[in-house]
Amino acid sequence: MQSLFALKKYFLRYKSKLAFGILFILLSNFGQVYIPIILKNTIDELQQKVTIELIIQNVLLIVGTALISGIFRFFIRQTIIVISREIEYDVRQDFWEHIQKLPLRFFQNNSTGNIMAHATNDISAVRMFVGPSVMYAIDTVTKFSIVLAIMFTISPILTGFTLVPLPFISILVYILSKKIHKKYNAIQEKFSEITTVAQENFSGIRVVKSYVREEYEIEKWKISSREYFEKNLEKVKLQAMFQPVLYLTAGLSTIIVVWIGGGMAIEGTITLGEILAFVVYLGLLIWPMIAFGWVANMVQQASASMKRIQKILNEKYEISDSGLTDYSITNIAGDIEFRNVSFRFKADLPLVLNNISLKIPHGATAAFVGSTGVGKTSLINLIPRLYDTTSGEVLIDGLDVRNIPLNVLRENIGLVPQEAFLFSDTLENNLAYGGKKIPLEKISDISKLSKEVASFPLGFQTVLGERGITLSGGQKQRSALARALAIDPKILILDDSFSAIDTHTEEEILIKLKEFMKDRTSIIISHRISTVKDADIIFVLEDGKIAEEGKHNELVELNGIYAELHNKQLLEEELKELN
């Protein structure tokens, strides 16, 4: 419950609309409640054989009242339910603004699916609370009190008897829908279980077929489908109870009116019109009583959801500008230095980088080689502060990166990550994602994209991704390179960015890059010797440490890890040429 108090600030934003909404609920309820009074009067007047004109007057009054009440009902939804959508928007907006600033670590610890579940399901649950729950709660309370007052003035005794079954509706709805919700969750669990069985079977189909286990797998599927079927039946049983229980309690009230009210009418202590009013009032009360039980459940679910949302909203930014930040820095030159840098992902995990020190002067090209998992990517991620070091410091132009404003730092570093991720947007918007300081023509020339762009009917306006064309792995990597060049970077980092590009094209790109990178710092991670051989300095990483460093020729002569890598790739080339 308490977590829902966090919604107070959102409600306050719409307080006048909310106030009107509540007012409309009251007004429309007065109208709805007035109609049975007219009905009662009409029946009683009919028995006294009044003129048809008087009856027509009543008829018009009914229609008029219903019309006014209906108009207010319209405005209730237009205020309160609309507010729920407004607040949903606000909460989601705050949620997004927050997670955008969370460090990479957060996204590695939380799956995309998980984050999506909060942004969709949990926010929906909160919306259901804000809208329908609030509306029905207020509606029920006000309607119930007005109707109760009127019924009481007609006949306290009959009111007493007929009201007995009503609270049971709320209680039963509450209990049943809570149980159904629980069963529903159990069903979802079973459903994801059968999904897993199917998933595993289809993914492992080679094993299944090799060992001729199809029958066994079908049997397995039957068992879990059967369990799912049975779980569903448990819910069905409760759901089948729902309606009968409702009319049983509601119908009981009506029968009590006919029986006790009828008896009173025979005695003459109540009129037929009053009995009719009772019957109609009961009809008016049933839905609010149902809604009440439902609302009680909704509140519980919403508060659980709100708690989950708040947990994310309370996640710390970790990497952001701080007291150390010197805002007078507006540019960087590109000298890079690592001073005794160590890094681990979590306190209880082993070190990925172990006491690394190195220097890359601005304008130089540095390359990193080493087998997978050796810490190359972690190392370069420290430069634009995607992670901060565990100990030691990364310096740019002699300054700790933590002194440089985060946006200044990142706007000057062009990073081309291992996975060339592009957005489903136009090619132009993707290439100019970080800015368009260098003309599109130039960056696509360097990245060897010009030919493709010319071949697309829409050129740079071609839409990529699901709703557009799918680029090949190589095209994606070249686009990602162009995107990084477009920001006119002082430091360019290529994290194994050419793996899907053929060696010939790669060579062409490297030649053009050399020209472009003249006064800029380049850092290249690659598995290919051909990519790194011309670098000013090559670092060979092993076990989180620098094992070898130097120029290509020096390293080949050293006859160590690098030399071995070099020989293998020569052989591979030879084999490929062979026909």
Is residue 203 involved in binding other proteins (CB under 8 A)?
A: yes
Half-sphere exposure of 127 (CA within 13 A, CB side): 19
When binding is defined by CB under 8 A, the residue of 152, 216, 317, 327 that contacts other proteins is 216
With vertex at residue 75, the alpha carbon angle to CA 73 and CA 79, rounded to the nearest 5 degrees, is 125
Task: Calculate the alpha carbon distances from 332 to 153, 384, 398, 436, 485 in Å.
Answer: 83, 12, 10, 19, 16
Distance of alpha carbon 173 from alpha carbon 233, whole angstroms: 19
Instruction: Enter the tokens of residue 209.
Output: 């077929």
Contact predicate 489/437, CB 8 Å: no
Helix (H) or strand (E) run with residue 549 in it: strand 545-550
When binding is defined by CB under 8 A, the residue of 23, 27, 66, 561 that contacts other proteins is 66
Is residue 349 involved in binding other proteins (CB under 8 A)?
A: no
Helix (H) or strand (E) run with residue 336 in it: strand 336-343
Q: What is the DSSP annotation of 447-468?
A: TT-HHHHHHSTTGGGPBBSTTS
Distance of alpha carbon 2 from alpha carbon 117, whole angstroms: 22
**Which residues from 106-125 bind other proteins, rule CB under 8 A?**
107, 112, 115-116, 119-120
When binding is defined by CB under 8 A, the residue of 26, 194, 299, 463 that contacts other proteins is 194
Give the per-residue contact string, 484-503, with other proteins (x = CB under 8 A; - = no).
Answer: ---x----------------
Distance of alpha carbon 114 from alpha carbon 134, whole angstroms: 28
Distance of alpha carbon 149 from alpha carbon 184, whole angstroms: 39
When binding is defined by CB under 8 A, the residue of 252, 333, 399, 558 that contacts other proteins is 252
When binding is defined by CB under 8 A, the residue of 5, 11, 152, 191 that contacts other proteins is 191
Contact predicate 289/141, CB 8 Å: no
When binding is defined by CB under 8 A, the residue of 63, 157, 324, 458 that contacts other proteins is 63
When binding is defined by CB under 8 A, the residue of 8, 49, 504, 518 that contacts other proteins is 49
When binding is defined by CB under 8 A, the residue of 236, 324, 458, 469 that contacts other proteins is 236
**Which residues from 555-574 bind other proteins, rule CB under 8 A?**
564, 568, 571-572, 574
Number of residues that bind other proteins (CB under 8 A): 134
**Which residues from 499-538 bind other proteins, rule CB under 8 A?**
none
Q: Tell me whether residue 282 or residue 366 sits nearer to other proteins (CB atom).
A: 282
Q: Tell me whether residue 143 or residue 483 sits nearer to other proteins (CB atom).
A: 483
Q: Tell me whether residue 103 or residue 544 sits nearer to other proteins (CB atom).
A: 103
Give the per-residue contact string, 402-421, with other proteins (x = CB under 8 A; - = no).
Answer: ----xx--xx-x-x-x---x
Contact predicate 132/84, CB 8 Å: yes
User: In the sheet where 491-495 sits, what is the strand order?
Assistant: 413-416, 491-495, 521-525, 365-369, 537-542, 545-550
Enumerate the β-bridge partners of residue 337. Answer: 359, 395
Is residue 554 involved in binding other proteins (CB under 8 A)?
A: no
Task: Calculate the alpha carbon distances from 240 to 176, 201, 249, 364 in Å.
Answer: 10, 35, 15, 75
**Binding piece for other proteins, criterion CB under 8 A, among 172-180, 279-287, 300-308, 358-366:** 279-287
DSSP 8-state class, residue 535 = -
Half-sphere exposure of 570 (CA within 13 A, CB side): 8
Least CB distance to other proteins at residue 494 (A): 13
Least CB distance to other proteins at residue 551 (A): 25
Is residue 222 involved in binding other proteins (CB under 8 A)?
A: yes
Q: Tell me whether residue 279 or residue 558 sits nearer to other proteins (CB atom).
A: 279
Give the other-Cβ count within 10 Å of 540's Cβ.
Answer: 23
Is residue 549 involved in binding other proteins (CB under 8 A)?
A: no
Q: Tell me whether residue 213 or residue 551 sits nearer to other proteins (CB atom).
A: 213
Q: Tell me whether residue 488 or residue 549 sits nearer to other proteins (CB atom).
A: 488
Q: Tell me whether residue 272 or residue 333 sits nearer to other proteins (CB atom).
A: 272
Give the per-residue contact string, 255-274, with other proteins (x = CB under 8 A; - = no).
Answer: x--xx--xx-xx-----x--
**Which residues from 115-174 bind other proteins, rule CB under 8 A?**
115-116, 119-120
When binding is defined by CB under 8 A, the residue of 384, 438, 491, 523 that contacts other proteins is 384
Distance of alpha carbon 191 from alpha carbon 181, whole angstroms: 15
Contact predicate 397/566, CB 8 Å: no
Least CB distance to other proteins at residue 260 (A): 9
Q: Tell me whether residue 54 or residue 148 sits nearer to other proteins (CB atom).
A: 54
Helix (H) or strand (E) run with residue 195 in it: helix 166-203
When binding is defined by CB under 8 A, the residue of 467, 504, 515, 518 that contacts other proteins is 467
Phi and psi, residue 315, nearest 5°:
-60, 140
Enumerate the β-bridge partners of residue 246. Answer: none
**Which residues from 74-113 bind other proteins, rule CB under 8 A?**
74-78, 81-82, 85-86, 88-89, 92-93, 96-97, 99-101, 104, 107, 112
